[in-house]
Amino acid sequence: MKKKLMKGNQALAEGAIRAGCRFYAGYPITPQTEIVEYMSDRMLEVDGNYVQAESEIGAISMVYGAASCGYRAMTSSSGPGFVLKQEGISYIASAELPAVIINVQRIGSGLGDISPAQDNYILSVKGGGHGDYRPIVYAPSSVQENLDYTLLAFEKAEQYRTPVVLLSDGAIGQMMESVRIPDMQQHDPNKFEWALKGKQSGKNKIVTSNMYYHEQDKYGRYTQDAYAAYGRYLADKVKNIQENEQLYEEKYLDDADVVLVSYGISSRICKAAIETARKEGIKLGLIRPISLFPFPNKAFDKLSDSLKGIICVEMNSWGQMVDDIKLAVNGRIPVHMYASSAYIPDEDTIIKMAKEILNSDAKEVL
Amino acid sequence: MGKTRITPKVLHDEHKFCAGCGHGTVFRMVAEVLEEKGLDSKAIGIVAVGCSGIMVDSFGIDWIQAQHGRAAAVATGVKRVRDDNFVLTYQGDGDALCIGIAETLNAAIRNENITTIVLNNGVFGMTGGQMSSTTLIGQKTKTSTKGRSAELHGQPLDIFNLLKNFNVAYLARGTITNFKEINKTKNYIRKAVEAQLNNKGYSMVEIVAPCPTNWKLDPVKCMKKIEDEFIPYYKLGEFTNGEVI
Ligand SMILES: Cc1ncc(C[n+]2csc(CCOP(=O)(O)OP(=O)(O)O)c2C)c(N)n1
Ligand code: SF4
Q: How much is the pLDDT for B4? A: 73
Q: How much is the pLDDT for B2? A: 67
Chain A, nearest residue to B46 by Cα: A65
Ligand 2 site, residue B157, Cβ cutoff 6 A = no
Tell me which of B245 and A260 has the higher pLDDT.
A260
Nearest ligand 2 atom, CA B210 = 7
Tens digits of residue pLDDT in B2-12:
677 789 999 99
A88 touches chain B (CB under 8 A): yes
Is a pLDDT exceeding 70 seen at residue B60? yes
Q: How much is the pLDDT for A354? A: 97
Q: Which of A20-34, A148-162, A200-214, A266-280 has the lowest mean pLDDT?
A: A200-214
| Phi, psi for residue B117 in degrees, rounded to 5 | -110, 120
**A249 falls in which pLDDT band (50, 70, 90)?**
very high
Q: How much is the pLDDT for A201? A: 66
Q: How much is the pLDDT for A132? A: 93
Ligand sitting nearest the alpha carbon of B131 = 1
A71 touches chain B (CB under 8 A): yes
Is a pLDDT exceeding 60 seen at residue B245? no
For A215-242, letters b (16+ CB in 10 Å) and e give eeeeeeeeeeebeebbeeebeebbeebb
Q: How much is the pLDDT for A210? A: 86
From its phi and psi, is residue A223 left (phi > 0), alpha (psi between -120 and 50) or beta? Answer: beta
Q: How much is the pLDDT for A237? A: 96
Q: How much is the pLDDT for B1? A: 57
Rounded (10°) angle between helices A56-68 and B71-81: 50
Tens digits of residue pLDDT in A153-207:
999 999 999 999 999 999 999 999 999 999 999 999 999 999 999 998 679 999 9
Selected for mutation to probe chain A from B80, B87, B99, B101 (highest A CB count within 10 Å) is B80
A111 touches chain B (CB under 8 A): no
Is a pLDDT exceeding 90 seen at residue A87? yes
Q: How much is the pLDDT for A63? A: 99
A239 touches chain B (CB under 8 A): no
A172/chain B closest Cα distance in angstroms: 29
**B241 falls in which pLDDT band (50, 70, 90)?**
low
Mean pLDDT, to the nearest integer, of A16-27? 98
**A353 falls in which pLDDT band (50, 70, 90)?**
very high
Is a pLDDT exceeding 90 seen at residue A227? no
Is a pLDDT exceeding 70 seen at residue A261? yes
Taking contacts as CB-CB distances below 8 angstroms, the residues of chain A near B44 are 69, 196-198
Q: Which of A91, A156, A169 is nearest to A124 (CA)?
A: A169
Taking contacts as CB-CB distances below 8 angstroms, the residues of chain B near A200 are 41-42
Tens digits of residue pLDDT in B151-207:
999 999 999 999 999 999 999 999 999 999 999 999 999 999 999 999 999 999 999
Mean pLDDT, to the nearest integer, of B114-139? 98
Give the residue, by CA position, lying nearest to ligand 2 atom 8: B21
Q: Which of A205-214, A320-329, B98-107 has the lowest mean pLDDT?
A: A205-214
Q: Number of A:B CB contacts under 8 A? A: 135
Chain A, nearest residue to B75 by Cα: A65
Residue A305 CB coordination number (10 Å): 7
Mean pLDDT, to the nearest integer, of B120-124? 98
**B243 falls in which pLDDT band (50, 70, 90)?**
low
CA A80 – ligand 1 centroid, Å: 26
**A287 falls in which pLDDT band (50, 70, 90)?**
very high
Chain B, nearest residue to A97 by Cα: B64
Is a pLDDT exceeding 70 seen at residue B120? yes
Average pLDDT taken over every residue of chain A: 95
Q: How much is the pLDDT for A211? A: 81
Give SS3 for B199: coil
SS (H, E, C) chain A: CEEEEEEHHHHHHHHHHHCCCCEEEECCCCCCHHHHHHHHHHHHHCCCEEEECCCHHHHHHHHHHHHHCCCCEEEEECHHHHHHHHHHHHHHHHCCCCEEEEEEEEECCCCCEEEECCCCHHHHHCCCCCCCCCCEEECCCCHHHHHHHHHHHHHHHHHHCCEEEEEEEHHHHHCEEEEEECCCCCCCHHHCCCCCCCCCCCCCCEECCHHHHCCECCCCCECHHHHHHHHHHHHHHHHHHHHHCCCEEEECCCCCCEEEECCHHHHHHHHHHHHHHHHCCCCEEEEEECEEECCCHHHHHCCCCCCCEEEEEECCCCCCCHHHHHHHHCCCCCEEEEECCCCCCCHHHHHHHHHHHHCCCCCCCC
Is a pLDDT exceeding 60 seen at residue B35? yes
Q: Which amino acid is at B215?
A: W
Ligand 2 site, residue B49, Cβ cutoff 6 A = no
Contact B41 A51 (CB under 8 A): no
Mean pLDDT, to the nearest integer, of A11-15? 98
Is a pLDDT exceeding 90 seen at residue A136? yes
Mutational pocket test of ligand 1: of B23, B95, B123, the residue with most ligand atoms within 8 Å of the beta carbon? B95
Is a pLDDT exceeding 60 seen at residue A217? yes
Q: How much is the pLDDT for B244? A: 52
Query: In terms of DSSP bridges, do strands B86-92 and B43-47 run parallel, antiparallel, or are they unpaired?
Result: parallel
ipTM of the complex: 0.96
CA A327 – ligand 1 centroid, Å: 40
